[in-house]
Amino acid sequence: MYSLQNTLYVMTPNAYAHLENNTVRIDVEREKRLQVPLHHVGSLVCFGNVMVSPALMHRLADEGKSLVLLETSGRFKARLEGPISGNILLRQAQHRSAGDRGFALELARAIIAGKLKNSRALLVRAARETPDSTEQAALTRTADNLAASLRAAAVATDLDALRGVEGEAARGYFGSLNSVVKPQARAHFALNGRTRRPPLDRFNALLSFLYSMLMNDCRSALETVGLDPQLGFLHAVRPGRAALALDLQEEFRSILADRLALTLINRSQLGPGDFDQREGGVVMLNDRGRRTVITAWQERKQEEITHPLLGMKLPIGVVPFVQARLMARTVRGEMTGYLPYLPK
């Protein structure tokens, strides 16, 4: 049933992706590197200077598979759009409901609740696992604060109040994440709050990259179900910003990105050699680091979970698509309120 088709990530500069019979073939310097049947490929994601043949673009468009172009940093650049691009009735409903303050507030509230609960679950688990009692107390305190934020979110009377609750909670959460890093890794992976434009330490560089991957997946999920990724409920509309993708991303940040970042650090799968520091302090994953992260990201997406509402097992990478659909159902009035994904 629900299967996660592979996303083919092409990261090698000057690689050439083309169609050969019914396969995608990747050549580098005229040598074959990879060949996979097209029906195994759900989407093609190209980083930086990757060439794609027109024949392959046509086939991807015909089959409704996405082709996404990213900068080498993982930032979104462009996407190939096929003949079925969205669902106009759904978009109309989305625009109407985004203009309905009551509806927008309730949807934003559900999104924040999902984010807070999932962030909190990460801290509660970390508190249970740490041997250090001081840190355990600190993590528990932050988890309690997030529970208080959740109660505040439940009664916030407008979007600004809700965003305020969320901002406060995020500061506390990122302030605690350092204690979740194993002591021996802390020298290389100190996190002093979240810095993102640009990231100023390795931990933030890693988070930024993972959030970009997550954001691309959320955007694809929204576009697949026909929602307009630019029109959000929690995130305000701004030119060039995929506000709804940012909305959808919230409930997945800690589950998919933060946990993975911590695992990669704590298991020493990433080290200082996987990052480059630029003059002035900006830190970025280098090519080797990106490869490690992408591989782990793909593996993580294959892990099976049970969706509480669907009551069935699915790869976790499919969950953003399920959630985008639930969002569409809420917007179309088939469900009375959005339900974020909360792992059991």
Partner 1 sequence: MTETDPIPLSALQHWAYCPRQCGLIHLEQAFADNIHTARGQAVHRLVDTPGYEMQAGVKVERALPLWCDRLGLIGKADLVEFHPDGRIFPVEFKHGRRRQKHHDDVQLAAQALCLEEMLGRPVTHGAIYHASSRRRREVAITSELRRLVQETTDAIRVMLTSGRLPPPVNDARCRECSLNEICEPAALAAKDIQAELRAELFRTTDPS
What are the residues whose beta carbons fall under 8 Å from the beta carbon of 166, sequence distance 6 or more? Answer: 112, 115, 116, 149, 153
- Beta carbons of 281 and 200 less than 8 angstroms apart: yes
In whole angstroms, how close is the CB of 251 to partner 1 at the nearest point?
11
> Interface with partner 1 includes 135 (CB under 8 A)?
no
By C-alpha distance, which of 122, 111, 113, 106 is closest to 152? 113
> Interface with partner 1 includes 140 (CB under 8 A)?
yes
User: DSSP secondary structure string, 97-132?
Assistant: HHT-HHHHHHHHHHHHHHHHHHHHHHHHHHHHH-S-
Q: Which of 74, 226, 289, 320 binds partner 1 (CB under 8 A)?
A: 226
Q: Which of 2, 23, 34, 277 binds partner 1 (CB under 8 A)?
A: 2
> Interface with partner 1 includes 143 (CB under 8 A)?
yes
What is the 3 state secondary structure string of 251-271?
Answer: CCHHHHHHHHHHHHHHCCCCC
Q: Which of 17, 50, 110, 243 binds partner 1 (CB under 8 A)?
A: 110
> Interface with partner 1 includes 120 (CB under 8 A)?
yes
User: Which part of the chain contacts partner 1 (CB under 8 A), choosing from 7-15, 53-61, 262-270, 326-334?
Assistant: 326-334
In whole angstroms, how close is the CB of 4 to partner 1 at the nearest point?
12
**Number of residues forming the site for partner 1 (CB under 8 A):** 40
What are the residues whose beta carbons fall under 8 Å from the beta carbon of 243, sequence distance 6 or more? Answer: 229, 230, 231, 232, 235, 236, 237
Closest to partner 1 by CB, 237 or 309? 309
* Positions that interact with partner 1 (CB under 8 A): 1-2, 64, 84, 86-87, 89-90, 110, 113-114, 117, 120, 124, 140, 143-144, 147, 150-151, 153-154, 225-226, 308-311, 322, 325-326, 329, 332, 334-337, 339-340, 342
